[in-house]
Amino acid sequence: MLSAFDNFPALLIWLPLIGGVIAFLLKNEGSVKTWALFSSIMTLIVMGVSLMYTEPKDYLLNQVSYIWLKDLGSSFGLMLDGMSRILCLLTAISFPLIFAATWNTHYKTPNAFYGLMLLTQCGLMGVFLATDALVFYFFWELALIPVYFLASRWGGEKRIQAAFKFFIYTFAGSLLLLIGILYIYLKTPNQSFSLVSFYNTTLTIQEQGWLFWLFFIAFAIKMPVFPFHTWQPDAYEQSTSAVTMVLSGIMVKMGVFALIRWLIPLFPDAVKSYDNIVIGLAVVGMIYASCIAMVQDDLKRLVAYSSIAHIGLMCAAVFTLDHEAMQGVMVQMFSHGINIIGLWIVVELIEQQTGVRKISELGGVAQKAPILAIMLVIIALANVALPLTNAFVGEFLMFSGLFRFNIWYAAVAGLSIILSAVYTLNMIKNVFYGNTNTLTETFREITVNQRVILAVIVVLVFMVGVYPGPMFQLVEQTTDVILKRISAK
Amino acid sequence: MNAIILSAIWGVVMMYTGVVTKKKSTPKVVAILGILLLITANWLEYAGLPFFNVHTGGMLAFTSFGLVFNLVAFTATLFYFLLSGSDMEDVGDNVADYFALIFFVLCGVSIATSFASLLMLFLGIEIMTIPLYILAASDKRNLKSNEAALKYFLMGTFSTGLMLMGIAFLYGASGTFYTEGLNLGFGSLTPMVMAGMVLLMISMAFKVSAAPFHFWTPDVYDGTPTVFTSFMATIVKAAAFIAFLRLFENAFGKMHSEWQLLIAIITALTLIIGNLTAVFQQSVKRMLAYSSIAQAGFMLLAVFALNNTGKQGLILYAAAYSLATIGVFAVLIKMKDYTFEGFNGLAKYQPLLAALLTIFLLSLAGIPLTAGFFAKYYMLVAALKNGQMFWLVIVGILSAAVSIYYYFRVIQAMYFKEGKDPEIHVSEGFKTILLVAALIIIILGIHPDWLLNLLNN
């Protein structure tokens, strides 16, 4: 019975791919939207079934490997281990939410929009599932191409430049990654791209030193970590909301994921010698981004900078190589994705009704839309990592890891929590409370559909916040595997 | 041998076609028949069935490497004829002669991919380029076309002179024209051999438009009627590369370390100059001229590395680059406005053309799932395997990142900018063939081994 489910990983890639191609062929706007939602829900169902019927500790059984380029030593290898599960689950949950939340937005050429969105989902799934370095690189790039088109075709005035900047940055980074991959490939004993061969390759300390930076820069641009973050606020601000949600909710996790899956286990010695530099950068970035977030007047830019701060913490926590911090990072990747998508949905709802995103021009929304306000406050507090919310679990573990690593880093990074409370609460105060003005005078309460979507997010926030056990069971195995590798070296 | 003889014969046939029929469309049909014949004959020779048994005294050697490249070159020419053949009718009246000249070029290509003697190399390169001088000037009333032809001719003959000089030096030093017979090892690097080798390197660099010998390229490519630029910049250039690689592998392979630094410098210069200058172009045609220089830089990595991976990569590169560039040119010819702005809003009026053009440009930029990615992949692996001069790989990677800028400018113009209808008139057949070319690029981007396995015969 179970052997029939071995193909889950492949299914998670094929479903969005086929869905995306079909979406391109549909002409009618309504049917494209329905199809995209349906297709993404199908993917979610498959994801759910795979979680039910397979165990993370059996991840070796859930591997798929098709012979692809035999002469090159590359095979189309996929696996669903603990960390893949968490991130695939995030991807699978996010897309239906995004489609539903932006249901009322009208796009020119909707078939292309939804087709590209589903192709992005396919690329993201591939990145999270790949066990072959070449396949990983393929999906890493393929996730980027549809997003580039999405961000350039739909969005604000300056979207073309913003998307191009984003593309050039990440593409340059991934070319460095390619060189690194090829170098290790030539060093593997059996000339193979598979994860196992990569893990079994011994590299000298000097080699690890520069390979580390090739990989790290590629991943740091994606996350983004200070000082590689300059593409991000522009890209988030200029993209249309659905694309911003994909970018910030899921795409940035590619970087953190890749750190844990590829960088840390491949270059353990280099990680130990450069950990202070990286954590230092990450911590500086956190404070820097939080400070900028405080003075932002644009809602989208505020959320964008808050995202840089959160990702910075994840990056720092990964490099502590602390068992609990690592688990925290993995759970936090999921929680952060959910929370930030929730925040974007609220921003989108406000912008839809008032037409502005300027904090200074809004006010008193809570009087007109109390339910929206309640939902927002919950999501915003989750973003600040209040206890009982999902982010608390992850951030607490990450901070405790950082604390054990070096108390000063933890102290400085801790400031960002306070700062994040400052700008988040400030935003709530100015947008939702106070007196209404001409713009918000006519603000209507959100519809039932919108309530349901936000309610799903709120439920997820509390579910993980109150009972995070299942999440930790998922990620425990990956953490063990990765950290055992490092201590063995 | 099949290809050399048949292409020469078919060139003559083409000339008579021009005499016999006055209809403008007939030569194209005859030419397509001819190229199909060439493909079949070349395939049969590859499968071990040569039609002709000519005693060449060992001056020609038919290896699977050369034959597979012929196959790639002829197939690319077939696409070129199908896509752009009818545009030749707009250049001038002597349509049949243009086709005849192209068949003569192909004859030169087949010699250049199979020479085993320096004399044959010289013949091959000359037969390849002389018809091109004429094609460059084919738009007789256009001053730019005349200028291009004259420049090309002067530069071409100059580099040929250098090549002859180099061959003479080598003959003087070793007493033989056979590349294998030169027997140049580490110890044999006398000043005379050195001079001969450097002269040959410079002349070949001229032919493949490698920096710093590339200055003729943009003007010539720009001035030549676009339909012939397409041929010059792809198949002919790739063939010159095959000759370059074969020459340095067979004749100078044993003293690889002596000239490796020199070729590394040429490669790096070509990559940097080609890419950086392409960024500043306003016309897509000129951009493609500089991009051809930049791509040449990547192909030079095969000569630099001189290993099996590099050879495989060069074949793949030739196929990927030729097909994609021919595709882009085929669309460009139909445009009235060659500037980037001319492409504004193309996706709105010609969605399929724009999508296919995007695939070609992505392939030129080396994005995964296209043949261009694996072409670059093989070149980088070849250079890394070589183990020397890691900086060259970094230069290659950085210039590949720069190239994104100018290729994506076309994509941006097509998809994200508003423009008026360029009023392109293309037939359904044209679109179908372009679609097939794009599909081949994607298939090679997923399974490059399907082409490269042919080399293992």
Q: Which of A142, A179, A181 to mutate to test the interface with B (most CBs of B within 10 A)?
A: A179
What are the helix and strand counts (H, E) for chain A? 22, 2
Would you state the pLDDT for residue A103? 83
Note whether B412 contacts A: Cβ–Cβ < 8 A: yes
Residue A5 has pLDDT above 60, yes or no: no
SS3 label, residue A66:
strand
Interchain contact, A69 vs B447, CB within 8 Å: yes
Of A71, A141, A167, nearest to B368 by CB-CB distance is A141
A1: confidence class by pLDDT, cuts 50, 70, 90:
very low
Q: Rounded to whole angstroms, what are the CA distances from B143 to B42, B129, B222, B237?
A: 39, 21, 12, 25
Neighbours of B405 (CB within 10 A): 15
- Does residue A464 contact residue A387 with C-beta atoms inside 8 Å? no
Cβ-Cβ contacts under 8 Å, B408 against chain A: 164, 167
Residue B196 burial (10 A CB sphere; 0-12, 13-18, 19+): buried
What does the pLDDT look like over A139-157, one tens digit per residue? 998 888 999 998 888 877 8
- CA neighbours closer than 13 Å in the CB half-sphere of residue A257: 29
Residue A228 DSSP class: S
Question: Which residue from B minimizes the CA distance to A186?
Answer: B385
A68-95 mean pLDDT: 85
Note whether B52 contacts A: Cβ–Cβ < 8 A: no
Would you state the pLDDT for residue A7? 72
Provide the strand spans (E) within A56-194.
64-69, 74-78
Burial B32-59 (b: 16+ CB within 10 A, else e): bebbebbbebbbebbeeeeeeeeeeeeb
Q: Which of A72, A149, A169, A206 to mutate to test the interface with B (most CBs of B within 10 A)?
A: A72
Interchain contact, A138 vs B369, CB within 8 Å: yes
pTM of the model: 0.92
A268: confidence class by pLDDT, cuts 50, 70, 90:
confident
What does the pLDDT look like over B54-93, one tens digit per residue? 888 888 888 889 999 999 999 999 999 999 888 888 888 8
What does the pLDDT look like over B167-182, one tens digit per residue? 999 888 888 888 887 7
Residue A203 has pLDDT above 50, yes or no: yes
Q: What does the alpha-carbon distance between residue A48 and residue A214 come to, in Å, rounded to a whole number? A: 36
Interchain contact, B377 vs A69, CB within 8 Å: no
Cβ-Cβ contacts under 8 Å, A178 against chain B: 377, 380, 397
Cβ-Cβ contacts under 8 Å, B381 against chain A: 182, 185-186
DSSP notation for A315-337: HHHHHTT-HHHHHHHHHHHHHHH
Interchain contact, B377 vs A137, CB within 8 Å: no
Question: Which residue from A minimizes the CA distance to B401?
Answer: A172
Distance from CA of A6 to the nearest CA of B (A): 24
B318-342 mean pLDDT: 90
Cβ-Cβ contacts under 8 Å, B448 against chain A: 69
- Does residue B356 contact residue B430 with C-beta atoms inside 8 Å? no
CA dihedral B234, B235, B238, B239 (to 10 degrees): -160
Q: Rounded to whole angstroms, what are the CA distances from A359 to A350, A364, A418?
A: 11, 11, 20
A437: confidence class by pLDDT, cuts 50, 70, 90:
confident
Residue B256 has pLDDT above 80, yes or no: yes
User: Residue A358's beta-bridge partner residues?
Assistant: A298
Interchain contact, B401 vs A168, CB within 8 Å: yes
Interchain contact, A142 vs B394, CB within 8 Å: no
Interchain contact, A69 vs B448, CB within 8 Å: yes
Query: What percent of chain B shows pLDDT beyond 90?
Result: 51
Would you state the pLDDT for residue A3? 47
Distance from CA of B367 to the nearest CA of A (A): 7
Helices (H), B306-427: 308-334, 346-349, 351-365, 371-386, 390-416
Of B369, B384, B400, nearest to A183 by CB-CB distance is B384
Q: Which of A363-372, B33-42, B286-295 has the lowest mean pLDDT?
A: A363-372
Every domain of chain A and the residues it spans:
279-480
Q: What does the alpha-carbon distance between residue B239 and residue B235 come to, in Å, rounded to a whole number? A: 6
Residue B457 has pLDDT above 80, yes or no: no
- CA neighbours closer than 13 Å in the CB half-sphere of residue B362: 22
What does the pLDDT look like over B109-162, one tens digit per residue? 999 999 999 999 999 999 999 999 999 988 888 888 999 999 999 999 999 999
Among A355-369, A432-446, B246-260, the range of highest mean pLDDT: B246-260
Of A104 and B247, which is predicted with more confidence?
B247
Average pLDDT across chain B, whole number: 89
Note whether B394 contacts A: Cβ–Cβ < 8 A: yes
Distance from CA of B386 to the nearest CA of A (A): 11
Q: Rounded to whole angstroms, what are the CA distances from B398 to A75, A146, A174, B298?
A: 28, 23, 11, 12
ipTM surpasses 0.85: yes
Residue B187 has pLDDT above 90, yes or no: no
